[in-house]
Amino acid sequence: METMALAILAVTAVFVLFRYRQRKQSEEFPPDLKSAPESTGLKSSAPLRISTLPTGTTTVAVSHVHKSFNGTHAVNDVSFEVRSGEILGIVGPNGAGKTTAIRMLMDIIGADSGQITILGASAGQDTRDTIGYLPEERGLYRKIAVAESLRYMAQLKGLLPEEAGKVRDQWLDRLGMSPHKGKKIEQLSKGMSQIIQLAATVIHDPELIILDEPFSGLDPVNREMLKTIILELKECGRTIILSTHQMNEVEALCDRVLMINKGSVVLHGELHEIRSRFRNNSVFLEYNGSIDNLPGVAEVKDHGSYVELFLNQDTSANQILSRLVERGVTIDRFEVSTPSLNEIFIKVAREES
C-alpha cells in the first residue's frame, strides 16, 4: 500500500519538478513589456555566426523536372542551376509554380520526373540540415516563447541544445529582438514574428537558403534589414534562392533570374544580360534647345517634362549624346532607357499567352 502511495507521490513530484523547470526557463527571459522597444533593427556591431564558404561551385542543379497535380502541370520541364555565393530570383505570377518548385527542392513533395541535386546530394538523401527554408505559408508556435521556439527549431536542424541557445541569442541580439525573447509569439506584431521566422531559417548557418516571398508583411525598416542580411549572407558565400513577385526586390538583390509562367521557364539568365537583351534602344532626355531632325533618331515621344528618343538600330546612345552637344542643346537629363524586370515580365508573359 505504502509503495502505491509513494508511486503517486513520485509521479506528482516529477510533474511538479517539470513545471518548475518550465517556469524557471521562462523566468530566464521575463517578458518586459514596458521597456521592450516595439521596433526592430539590425545591430551591425553584434557578432554573427556566419562562416565563410568558397564561391562558384554548383549548389543546386535542377534538370528537366516535372510535377503535375490531377493532370495539371504545376512544374513542366524546369531546369536551372545555382552557384554558391549567388542569389537566384525566381519570379512569376501567382500560381506559376514557384512554390511547387521550391517544395521539390526541399523534398517536401517529390518530383514526377527529372533530377534535383543539392550540395552534391540527389533527392532522397537528407540535406535538410544544410538548407534554411522560409516558406511562403509560415508561422511559429503561438503559445511558446520566442527563445524556446528558436531553440527547438535549431535543435531540429541538428544543433546541440547549448549551441542552439548560444546562436539563438546571437541572432536575437543581431536582429534587435533580444528584449522580446521571453514573449510568446502571439504577443509580437506580424512584422516581428516574421523577423523571428527569418532567424529560425538561418540559425543553423545553412549553406543554401531558400526564401519564399520573404518580404511580404514587412514594413520598410524591416524590409531594408532583410535585404542587408541577405546581402551579408551572400558575401559569406551562402547560396540564396529568392522567390517573389516583387520585381524591384529581385532587381536590387539578385545575380540571376528564373522567370516561371504556367509551370514552365520562360526566361533564365543573369539579370544584367536579360535587361540588355530586352533594351529597346531609347534614351530619356530633358533639354533646352532644338532637337528637330536629329540624325539617328527614328521617333520622338513626348512625356510632358521630358521626351523619349527612339534610336535607329545602327545608332548608339553615345553618338546621340555627341550630336546633342554639337548642336548646343542644354541637357538637364540624359538616361539610357533600360526596361524594368516588371516590364520584361509583362512582355514575356504576353508573348507566351
Partner 1 sequence: MKKTMIIARHEFSQVVRRKGFYILTLGLPFIAFLGLFINDIVQDLDKEPDTPDHQNIGYVDDMGVFTGYTQQANLTFIPYPDQDLAQQDLMAGEINEYFVIPESYLQTGLVDRYTTERELEVPLKTWYQIRDFLLNNLLASEVNDDLLNRAKNPVQLNSWHLDETGAVSEPPDELQAILVPYFFGLLFIMSIFMTSGYLMHSVTEEKENRIMEILLSSVSVNQLLRGKIIGLGIAGLIQIVIWLVTIRVFLEVGSVDISVLEDIQFPPSMLLFGVIYFLLGYGLFSVLYAGLGAMSTSPRESQQMVGIFVMPAVVPLVLMSVIGENPEGGIAQALSFIPITAPTTVMMRLANINIPPWELALSITLLASSIALGLWLVARMFRAYLLMYGKRPTLREIVRTLR
Residues that bind partner 1 (CB under 8 A): 1, 4-5, 7-8, 11-12, 15, 18-19, 22, 70, 103, 106, 108-110, 126, 128-129, 131, 133, 135, 137-142, 144, 152-153, 155-158, 197, 200
> At a CB cut-off of 8 Å and minimum separation 6, what does 304 contact?
none
Least separation in angstroms between CB 152 and partner 1: 6
Residue 93: CB atoms within 10 A of its CB come to 15
**What are 310-313's contacts with CB under 8 Å, separation 24+?**
310/280, 310/281, 310/282, 311/281, 311/282, 311/283, 313/281
Cα angle 19, 189, 161 (rounded to 5 degrees) comes to 40
Nearest Cα neighbor of 217 from 239, 233, 195 is 195
**CB contact at 8 A, 87 and 255:** yes
Q: Please identify, using beta-carbon distances, which residue of 100 and 246 lies nearer to partner 1.
A: 100
Least separation in angstroms between CB 187 and partner 1: 15
Least separation in angstroms between CB 291 and partner 1: 57
* Cell numbers for 75: 512544374
Interatomic CA distance for residues 272 and 3, integer angstroms: 78
Q: Please identify, using beta-carbon distances, which residue of 85 and 135 lies nearer to partner 1.
A: 135
Least separation in angstroms between CB 257 and partner 1: 24
Q: Please identify, using beta-carbon distances, which residue of 212 and 249 lies nearer to partner 1.
A: 212
**CB contact at 8 A, 155 and 164:** yes
Q: Please identify, using beta-carbon distances, which residue of 141 and 215 lies nearer to partner 1.
A: 141
In sequence order, the β-bridge partners of residue 310 are: 282, 299
Least separation in angstroms between CB 12 and partner 1: 7
> At a CB cut-off of 8 Å and minimum separation 6, what does 92 contact?
98, 245, 259, 260, 261, 345
Least separation in angstroms between CB 150 and partner 1: 12
Q: Please identify, using beta-carbon distances, which residue of 210 and 311 lies nearer to partner 1.
A: 210
SS3 118: strand
Q: Please identify, using beta-carbon distances, which residue of 157 and 180 lies nearer to partner 1.
A: 157
Q: Please identify, using beta-carbon distances, which residue of 19 and 277 lies nearer to partner 1.
A: 19
Q: Please identify, using beta-carbon distances, which residue of 133 and 345 lies nearer to partner 1.
A: 133
Least separation in angstroms between CB 155 and partner 1: 5
**CB contact at 8 A, 222 and 175:** no
Interatomic CA distance for residues 334 and 332, integer angstroms: 7
Least separation in angstroms between CB 276 and partner 1: 36
